[in-house]
Structure 1
Amino acid sequence: MKDFKNQNIKVIGFDADDTLWVNENYFREAESAFCQLLAEYQSSEVLMKKLYEVEVKNLELYGFGIKGFTLSMMEAALEICGLNFSASISTEIIRIGKEMLDKPVVLLDQVEDILRKVRKTYRVILVTKGDLLDQHRKLEKSGLEGYFHHIEVMNKKSEADYRRLVSHLDLYPEEFLMIGNSLKSDIIPVLNIGSNAIYVPYEITWQHEVPTEEVLTEGYIQVEALHDILRYI
């Protein structure tokens, strides 16, 4: 198994949502509230399928994040309810979205202690995606901002995004290590540009973040919990 201590790693990037703090749980709670709101119109299965379809369709337009999710809930509800769509449904969806934005930032798995140890040896950066304002709001609430040399909020976390990041940091690809909970966003594109990765699965994964193709287990390390990364770096 790879041991990054013996490699020329200079910068370590940490994903934010569901790697450093709780995120996906709040979306699941919101989806449940959405289904309860429209229970008289369709089953939860149908409602969830429609909401996901609308979310994915809107990603290119809205990007990732709570605001886009709220607009997608509104659009999905309008399609489901038709002429029965009402001001009360609209008001409740807005309330659900605002409640998500107001959720506390709950840190995971000894995060602050881990960041404190890692930055003694490496430059540490935050690499996330989503709504710029919302991500910076969560970072400020987290109290972790002081641990990061650089903050990067990407649109998609594509290979092109990571190449630009590595170039901006004046690194060779092999000098960068990414740590995150999504194979699709944090691991595969990083490996594809010649950089390194550690995969830290979270208890919940949004289905859009699940790779559609089989992922080789070679080339990256998988750990059970974030504190386990300290054995390899």
Structure 2
Amino acid sequence: MRRSVTCIGFDADDTLWHNERFFQLTQARFADLLRDYTDQDRLMARLLEAEKRNLGHYGFGIKGFVLSMIETAIEVTEGRVPASVIAELLQAGREMLRHPVELLPHAHAAVTTLKATHRVVLVTKGDLLDQERKLAQSGLDDLFDAVEIVSDKTPQVYERIFAQHGDGPARGLMVGNSMRSDVRPMIDVGGWGVFIPHGATWDIEHAPPPQDRSRYAEIDSLADLPGLVRALG
């Protein structure tokens, strides 16, 4: 029997393991350091603007986040930010790069179950060294048939990955917590996009669901993924 789906791509951050909550904790620390200069809502809005502005320069990940915090601190203090604050932000970034990896529920079981019948590929973006570290510490590294750490997730990137590691995007499925990065671009190249909502998702990753729902699905957790894949055939 010819399977409809032969290759499954997994997002990493906040799909397989926790990630965004460490950013949120650091943002709270950032707001506390600058509380004498501006209120938290205004500071977070300025930080988000800086992150969007800097994506093309620094890409995704902790290093770009720390540089954006430093840039924002300089802006909101009109150049008067103390060196001690800059030092604390740099230290916060180093702590983020050392945080232990904590798998989300059902992550190991879902990848193990689907590996028995499908090719499974990790597709993640961000700092190369940090993503390699997290994968090594996750205990999942030996389960994947391939690992792709990319600068961004675009339709062209998915087309290449699923052609190289699978039978093309039309017989591929991508699962993740980002509508913008994991779901919509995969559907745009004719594949399946499966959305798993996460309570903490970076604002930049939000997007409306696709208008065409014929290759779109939403599940509550990774525990539901094997059953969904079986139903697709």
Band of TM-score, shorter chain: over 0.9
Q: Secondary structure at the match of 2:197?
A: coil
TM-score (ref. length: structure 1): 0.93
Q: Secondary structure at the match of 1:208?
A: helix
Task: Report the residue type matching 2:134 in the other structure.
Answer: K
> Which residue does the alignment assign to 1:164?
160
Q: Which digits, 9 at most, give the CA deviation of each residue in 1:168-202, with x for residues without a partner?
A: 22522211111111111001000010011211111
> Which residue does the alignment assign to 2:50?
54
**Structure 2: gaps spanning 5 or more residues:** none
Provide closer, same or farther for how the CA distance between residues 148 and 48 of structure 1 changes in structure 2, counting only shifts above 3 A: same
Q: Secondary structure at the match of 2:37?
A: coil
Which of 209, 212, 215 matches 2:210? 215
Provide closer, same or farther for how the CA distance between residues 217 and 225 of structure 1 changes in structure 2, counting only shifts above 3 A: farther
Q: Which digits, 9 at most, give the CA deviation of each residue in 1:137-188, with x for residues without a partner?
A: 1101111100001000111101111112123225222111111111110010
Percentage of matched positions with identical amino acids:
39
> Which residue does the alignment assign to 2:186?
190
Q: Aligned partners of 1:59 and 1:118: how far apart in 2?
A: 33
Q: Say what the alpha-carbon RMSD is for the aligned residues.
A: 1.5
Superposition misfits of 4+ residues, deviation over 4 angstroms = none
Which of 140, 151, 158 matches 1:155? 151
1:119 Cα deviation after fit: 0.4
1:9 Cα deviation after fit: 1.4
Q: Which digits, 9 at most, give the CA deviation of each residue in 1:90-146, with x for residues without a partner?
A: 111101111111111110012112211110000111001111111111101111100
TM-score (ref. length: structure 2): 0.93
Task: Report the residue type matching 2:211 in the other structure.
Answer: L
Q: Secondary structure at the match of 1:232?
A: helix
Q: 2:158–2:169: 8 Å Cα contact kept in structure 1?
A: no
Provide closer, same or farther for how the CA distance between residues 122 and 214 of structure 1 changes in structure 2, counting only shifts above 3 A: closer
Does residue 106 of structure 1 match 2:102?
yes
Does residue 144 of structure 1 match 2:143?
no
> Which residue does the alignment assign to 1:200?
196
